[in-house]
Amino acid sequence: MTLLSLRNIQKHFGAVRAVDGIDLDIRENEFFALLGASGSGKTTLLRMLAGFEAPTGGEILLDGQEISGVPPNKRPVNLMFQSYALFPHMSVAQNIAYGLEMERLPRAEIKTRVDEILEVIQLGDLAKRKPDQLSGGQRQRVALARALVKRPRLLLLDEPLGALDKKLRGEMQLELKRIQDEFGITFIIVTHDQEEALVMADRIAILRDGKLLQCGTPHEIYEHPESRFAADFIGVMNFLPVEQRDGKLLTASGDVITAADALDTGQRGVAAVRPERLHLGDAQGENRLTGKVSALAYHGLDLQLHLMSPAAPDPVMVRLTAGEAETRRLAIGEEVTVSWAAKDTRIFAV
């Protein structure tokens, strides 16, 4: 069921169109990621949902009700701020209890719920500490607990893991997913880290310059990017410059590329293919390419290969599984042919 609908939502700051006409439907219990580079309008969009910015135009419907005019304290929506915004003069427990006190719940119930959530985020023994006596990771969890304890219909998280180091981030990604599942609350998480979005989200929306570029499951976005930007932004992608001539797509080295899409005659574009779709030998698909190995790197389970080819200005990345790599010894400087299927090839005009 749809929980939140955005209809042509806009926010302009003077001449800056921070959010420029976004339509989006978010389902109940969904873990939804807003993905975009810095300045793409992610925070502005969240602040409109939380009620801190009035949209310049468009509608925000929560459970079918327009909420644009509702002040932040009257919305069943909570925001976890990028800066965490913990109350520095209150202890961890007081920070978490604050939102429940605002609901005028009985003291006993507040205490039970605070203790409960402290258990969930494993900070029970730090309940009496002030925020400035906590580590970054602990603060992040307090901020999460403070928003979560209100059991909102919708929880907004603005780059919740942005300030954490890489290892902690990996752990917290799984932790967040577990918590979301356990509480059954709809999450909208903002991130500029595509890997994070792919790992956590049920669906991802890619934002660019305040516009929605593409929205879909991680699989859809990864396998079927609809624009060159999306293809480049998510994961690693090889781009081979191509031109449509005589009814064929030709690379700079004169090889023919077979793909489902085509360009107009004479038009230039790029053929895009993921590194893991390239295979050794010339019999693994309709398309092939030859190049010299310029770099080799083992990554545990797989082997990464860089090929210098006349077909592309940048080295072509190839990701071979360990099994595939064992079939042939590879050395730097060696000439290698790789091939791939037409169905794994996407064509974008430039």
Partner 1 sequence: MTDRKPLYLMSPALAWLTAFMVVPCLLILALAFFRRGIYGGIEYTFTLENIALVFDPLYAGVFLKSAGIAGLSALIAVIVGYASAYAIAAAPARRQPVLLFFAVLPFWSNYLVRTYAWIVLLNREGLIASMAHWLGYDGELPKLLYTESAVVVGLVYNYLPFVILACYAPLSRLNPEIAEASRDLGGSGWTTFRRVTLPMTFPGVATGFVFVFVLSIGNFVTPALLGGGQFQMIGNLVYAQFLTANDWPFGAALSMFLIAIMMGLLTLQTFATERASGTRPEAT
Ligand X SMILES: Nc1ncnc2c1ncn2[C@@H]1O[C@H](COP(=O)(O)OP(=O)(O)O)[C@@H](O)[C@H]1O
Compute the least distance from the CB of residue 330 to partner 1, in Å.
52
Distance separating alpha carbons of residues 317 and 278, to the nearest angstrom: 9
Query: Judged by CB under 6 A, how many residues of this single chain contact ligand X?
Result: 11
- The option from partner 1, Mg ion, ligand X, none interacting with 146 (CB < 5 to 8 A, set by class) reads partner 1
Strand pairing report for 57-62 and 203-208? unpaired
Say which amino acid occupies 204: I
Site mask for ligand X (CB under 6 A), range 251-270, x = bound:
--------------------
- Can you give the binding site for partner 1, defined by CB under 8 A? 50-52, 71-73, 78-79, 81, 83, 85-89, 98-99, 102-103, 130, 132, 146-147, 150
Nearer to Mg ion by Cβ, of 43 and 244: the residue is 43
**Binding-residue pattern over the window 20 to 49 for ligand X, x denoting contact by CB under 6 A:** ----------------x-xxxxxxx-----
> Which of Mg ion, partner 1, ligand X, none is residue 89 near (CB under 5 to 8 Å by kind)?
partner 1
Spatial separation of the C-alpha atoms in residues 320 and 322, rounded to whole Å: 6
d(CA 209, CA 232): 16
Q: Residue 58 CB, nearest distance to partner 1 (Å)?
A: 21
The site partner of 72 among partner 1, ligand X, Mg ion, none (C-beta below 5 to 8 Å per kind) is partner 1
The token duo for 242 is 């191509």
Q: Which DSSP string corresponds to 101-132?
A: HHTT--HHHHHHHHHHHHHHTT-GGGTT--GG
Asked whether the CA dihedral 85, 155, 51, 233 is positive or negative, the reply is positive
Q: How far is the CB of 156 from ligand X (least distance, A)?
A: 12
Site string for Mg ion, 28-47 (x = CB under 5 A): ---------------x----
Q: Are 239 and 312 in contact (CB under 8 A)?
A: yes
Q: Is 124 exposed, middle or buried (0-12, 13-18, 19+ CB in 10 A)?
A: middle
Closest by Cα among 208, 204, 232 to 217: 204
**Cβ atoms 33, 201 nearer than 8 A:** yes
When CB distances are held under 5 to 8 angstroms depending on the partner's kind, the choice from Mg ion, partner 1, ligand X, none that residue 87 binds is partner 1
Per the CB < 8 A criterion, the answer to whether 337 and 309 are in contact is: no
| 15 vs 297 by CB, closer to ligand X | 15
- Taking the least distance from each CB to Mg ion, the nearer of 43 and 186 is 43
* Residues near ligand X (CB under 6 A): 13, 16, 18, 36, 38-44
**Contact set with Mg ion (CB under 5 A):** 43
